[in-house]
């Protein structure tokens, strides 16, 4: 069964799409409140572009989350009283100096309430964070799950090149492991063989007799717990088992980060190693169980869940994350479509919504939907020099390549000046063609100006046809697949439902005309 991949804010998706008590395992690796902007490194061009922000401000969204947490939740959303008290206290404690941290915590708390709702009673949640906010997040989790449901603080220890600092090197992340229930009914598979016990330890505890002595009082009692003798013998693993299988995995995990040129690397920032997720998925779910990653990034948890035969749901608010996930899944599981996508614009209405709410994501989406890629070099808002995307087309019957410049306009009020501006860019860049993608139907005068920009040979030697040098394509045409590219776009991911791009249906506008595109 294909997994569900949602583009959108996980709060909306969880509230509207995920039923209560329907998920077995949640792994979340949210932004850590690092005050950084993260960039995706594009493999082919080695250029960068913004993936997501991890900067928080006390704005309307934070205010709304805080209001929902403190008595103004929408109907049907239950916020535990302890959590309301805690967030009020945290807001006082953090004061005006750390309002941005409070904005981050409010964003997390309201989402963790939803995660608790969707988790089955036998389910588990792993919150991946770092010491920046782990202490506050643990309080929030205690107030939602109950402190009896806290199972482990897992330390993920990694090695990286040291940085100059007047403190110890920071080389670990934290995974807070909670279960939905406190009665030990949660799914848990003990993992062996990941760690070795030191020979000296095995020697010390190497016989049953020694273990029995150890249990019945030889061990120094723990002063903090008020113990007068060691735990009962039944609490220890059999020495023979430990010898045969390796020690049961502890809560300090040494897993290497992904190498800069590692096969696994996607270029998405903050990507986690599959080996780390393998432990989480194998320990706390079984084949067929539902795994949710509400901050899925480039989809590490999803890929591992698919490999381990789990059903999965992934959500991300960054459209480029969703694109990377789809590519990664297609490459990891060639020949089968293991994902179903929701939330990306699928019709004119949803495309318009994206254009009106997130101009930057709209540009990205339109460029990709057309079959293009972002321009080379880092793309900053407002500094793209009129280029929102590019495409390279190969002639159908020769090796000749042609460069296409793409410009995207989501706004309603367009004039022929936009067409002229694109023509100037195409000239300046010495490109072959220009495509102006418009959300709204272009006016007849815009189409006339585009026609006046001249003709170039159609990228196929067999019929000697000519095409318009500047072409306007409306989003409706892209969605309907009624546009035709004058060459083979090899970079374009084939859409199994629609067939390869060069076999797309030709629009009524194209049929019967000797001049196309
Ligand atoms: C640290 S990254 C996750 C990396 C991921 N674990 C991996 O291995 O690729 C955090 C992700 O959370 C996403 N994100 C931030 N806020 C979100 C929200 N409200 N809903 C869904 N995703 C969100 C960001 O776009 C980013 O991709």
DSSP per position, 40-100: EEPTTT--EEEEEEE----SHHHHHHHHHHTT-PPTT----HHHHHHHHHHHHHHTTTTHH
Token code pair at residue 2: 């294909």
Q: Tell how far the Cα of 355 is from the centroid of ligand 1, in angstroms.
A: 21
Which residue range(s) make up the domain with 205? Answer: 199-224+231-241
Which of 5, 107, 296, 343 is the pocket-test mutation for ligand 1 (most atoms within 8 Å of CB)?
296
Higher pLDDT, 402 or 458: 402
pLDDT band for 329, please (50, 70, 90 cuts). Answer: very high
Q: Tell how far the Cα of 299 is from the centroid of ligand 1, in angstroms.
A: 9
Burial of 29 (0-12, 13-18, 19+ CB in 10 A): buried
E runs forming strands in 130-279: 150-157, 172-179, 192-195, 247-248, 252-254
In percent, the amount of the chain with pLDDT more than 90 equals 59
Q: Does 52 share its domain with 161?
A: yes
* CATH code assigned at 365: 3.40.1350.10
pLDDT of residue 199: 78
pLDDT band for 230, please (50, 70, 90 cuts). Answer: low
Q: Does 151 share its domain with 212?
A: no
pLDDT (mean) for 105-111: 97
313, 18 in Cβ contact below 8 A? yes
Q: Does 417 share its domain with 455?
A: yes
Query: Going by C-beta distance under 8 Å and a sequence separation of 6 or more, which residues neighbour residue 493?
Result: 326, 327, 330
Which atom from ligand 1 is nearest to the alpha carbon of 128?
6
Q: Tell how far the Cα of 384 is from the centroid of ligand 1, in angstroms.
A: 25
pLDDT of residue 261: 82
Query: Strand 290-293 to strand 311-316: parallel, antiparallel, or no bridges (unpaired)?
Result: parallel
Q: Tell how far the Cα of 55 is from the centroid of ligand 1, in angstroms.
A: 13
Q: Is residue 174 part of a domain?
A: yes
Is the pLDDT at 498 greater than 60? The verdict is no
Q: Tell how far the Cα of 29 is from the centroid of ligand 1, in angstroms.
A: 7
Rounded Cα gap, residues 446 and 421, in angstroms: 12
pLDDT of residue 216: 44
Q: Does 235 share its domain with 297?
A: no
* Phi-psi sector, 378: left (phi>0), alpha (psi -120 to 50), beta: beta
Which of 26, 52, 115, 325 is the pocket-test mutation for ligand 1 (most atoms within 8 Å of CB)?
52
> Which range, of 39-48, 291-300, 329-338, 345-354, averages the lowest pLDDT?
39-48
Token code pair at residue 181: 């229930």
CB within 6 Å of ligand 1 — which residues? 9-10, 29-31, 52, 268, 270-272, 295, 297-298, 300, 315-318, 321
pLDDT of residue 454: 85
Q: Does 36 share its domain with 138?
A: yes
Q: Nearest to residue 477, comparing CAs of 451, 439, 444, 450?
A: 439
Q: Can you tell me whether residue 104 is helix, strand or coil? A: helix
Q: Tell how far the Cα of 35 is from the centroid of ligand 1, in angstroms.
A: 14
Is the pLDDT at 418 greater than 50? The verdict is yes
pLDDT of residue 495: 39
Residue 311, beta-bridge partner list = 290
Q: Residue 136: which H helix or E strand, with range?
A: helix 134-145
194, 250 in Cβ contact below 8 A? no
Higher pLDDT, 385 or 157: 157
Q: Is residue 500 part of a domain?
A: no
Q: Tell how far the Cα of 38 is from the centroid of ligand 1, in angstroms.
A: 11
Q: Does 339 share its domain with 354?
A: no
For the entire predicted model, the pTM comes to 0.78
pLDDT of residue 166: 96
pLDDT of residue 1: 83
* CATH code assigned at 150: 3.40.50.150
Angle at 283 between CA 281 and CA 287, to 5 degrees: 60
> Which range, of 76-85, 194-203, 233-242, 312-321, averages the lowest pLDDT?
233-242
Higher pLDDT, 28 or 467: 28
pLDDT of residue 512: 24
pLDDT (mean) for 453-482: 78
Rounded Cα gap, residues 32 and 312, in angstroms: 23
Residue-averaged pLDDT of the chain:
84
pLDDT band for 397, please (50, 70, 90 cuts). Answer: low
DSSP per-residue letters across 381-417: TT-STT-SEEEEEE-SSSS-EEEEEEEEE--S---HH
Q: Is residue 491 part of a domain?
A: no
Q: Is residue 287 part of a domain?
A: yes
Rounded Cα gap, residues 134 and 122, in angstroms: 24
12, 68 in Cβ contact below 8 A? no
Q: Tell how far the Cα of 36 is from the centroid of ligand 1, in angstroms.
A: 13
Is the pLDDT at 138 greater than 70? The verdict is yes
Which atom from ligand 1 is nearest to the alpha carbon of 107?
19
Query: Whose CA is closest to atom 13 on ligand 1?
Result: 295
Which of 321, 326, 358, 360 is the pocket-test mutation for ligand 1 (most atoms within 8 Å of CB)?
321
Q: Is residue 377 part of a domain?
A: yes
pLDDT of residue 505: 25
255, 276 in Cβ contact below 8 A? yes
pLDDT of residue 401: 83
- φ, ψ (nearest 5 deg) of residue 483: -120, 155
Q: Does 158 share its domain with 286?
A: yes
What sign does the dihedral 12-41-31-178 (CA atoms) show? positive
Q: Does 72 share its domain with 124?
A: yes
Q: Does 291 share its domain with 436?
A: no
pLDDT (mean) for 385-408: 84
pLDDT of residue 46: 63
Which atom from ligand 1 is nearest to the alpha carbon of 30?
10
Q: Tell how far the Cα of 314 is from the centroid of ligand 1, in angstroms.
A: 10
In percent, the amount of the chain with pLDDT more than 70 equals 83
Query: Whose CA is closest to atom 12 on ligand 1?
Result: 295
pLDDT tens digits, 186-219:
999 999 988 877 778 777 776 554 454 444 433 4
pLDDT tens digits, 340-373:
999 888 889 889 988 988 888 899 889 988 988 8
Rounded Cα gap, residues 352 and 479, in angstroms: 12
List C-alpha distances in Å: 280 to 98, 170, 289: 33, 23, 13
Q: Does 411 share its domain with 434?
A: yes
pLDDT of residue 393: 83
Query: Whose CA is closest to atom 18 on ligand 1?
Result: 9
38, 54 in Cβ contact below 8 A? yes
Number of domains into which the chain is organized: 3
Q: Can you tell me whether residue 184 is helix, strand or coil? A: coil
Q: Is residue 497 part of a domain?
A: no
Higher pLDDT, 261 or 107: 107
Q: Does 236 share its domain with 254?
A: no
């Amino acid at each position: 069964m294909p997994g569900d991949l949602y583009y959108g804010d996980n709060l909306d998706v969880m509230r509207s799409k995920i039923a209560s008590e329907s998920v077995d395992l949640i792994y979340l690796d949210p932004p850590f409140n690092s005050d950084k902007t993260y960039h995706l490194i594009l493999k082919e061009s080695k250029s960068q572009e913004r993936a997501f922000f991890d900067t928080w401000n006390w704005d309307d969204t934070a205010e709304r989350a805080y209001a929902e947490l403190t008595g103004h939740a929408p109907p049907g959303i239950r916020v535990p009283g302890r959590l309301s008290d805690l967030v009020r206290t945290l807001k006082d404690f953090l004061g005006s100096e750390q309002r941005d941290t409070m904005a981050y915590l409010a964003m997390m708390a309201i989402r963790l309430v939803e995660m608790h709702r969707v988790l089955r009673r036998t389910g588990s949640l792993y919150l991946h964070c770092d010491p920046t906010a782990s202490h506050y997040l643990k309080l929030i989790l205690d107030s939602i799950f109950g402190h009896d449901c806290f199972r482990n603080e897992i330390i993920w220890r990694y090695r990286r090149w040291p940085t100059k600092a007047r403190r110890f090197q920071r080389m670990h992340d934290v995974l807070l492991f909670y279960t939905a229930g406190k009665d030990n009914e949660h799914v848990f598979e003990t993992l062996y063989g990941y760690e070795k016990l030191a020979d000296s330890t095995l020697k010390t505890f190497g016989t049953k007799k020694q273990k029995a002595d150890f249990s019945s009082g030889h061990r120094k009692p723990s002063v903090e717990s008020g113990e007068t003798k060691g735990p009962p013998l039944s609490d220890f693993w059999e020495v023979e088992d430990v010898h045969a299988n390796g020690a049961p995995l502890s809560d300090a995990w040494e897993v290497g980060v992904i190498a800069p040129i590692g096969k696994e690397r996607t270029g998405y920032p903050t990507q986690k190693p599959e080996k780390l997720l393998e432990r989480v998925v194998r320990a706390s779910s079984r084949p067929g169980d539902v795994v949710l990653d509400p901050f899925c990034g480039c989809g590490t948890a999803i890929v591992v869940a698919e490999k381990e035969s789990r059903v999965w749901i992934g959500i991300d608010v960054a459209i480029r994350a969703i694109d990377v996930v789809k590519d990664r899944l297609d490459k990891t599981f060639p020949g089968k479509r293991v994902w179903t996508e929701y939330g990306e614009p699928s019709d004119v209405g949803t495309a318009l919504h994206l254009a009106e709410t997130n101009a930057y994501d709209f540009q990205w989406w339109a460029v990709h939907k057309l079959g293009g890629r972002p321009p080379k070099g880092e793309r900053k808002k407002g500094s793209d020099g009129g280029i929102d995307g590019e495409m390279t087309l190969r002639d159908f019957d020769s090796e000749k390549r042609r460069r296409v410049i793409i410009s995207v306009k989501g706004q309603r009020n367009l004039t022929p000046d936009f067409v002229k501006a694109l023509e100037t860019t195409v000239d300046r860049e010495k490109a072959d063609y220009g495509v102006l993608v418009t959300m709204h139907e272009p006016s007849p005068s815009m189409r006339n100006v585009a026609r006046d920009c001249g003709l170039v040979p159609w990228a196929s030697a067999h019929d000697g046809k000519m095409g318009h040098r500047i072409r306007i394509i409306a989003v409706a045409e892209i969605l309907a697949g009624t546009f035709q590219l004058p060459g083979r776009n090899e970079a374009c991911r084939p859409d199994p439902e629609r067939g390869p791009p060069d076999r797309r249906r030709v629009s009524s506008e194209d049929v019967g005309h000797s001049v196309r595109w």
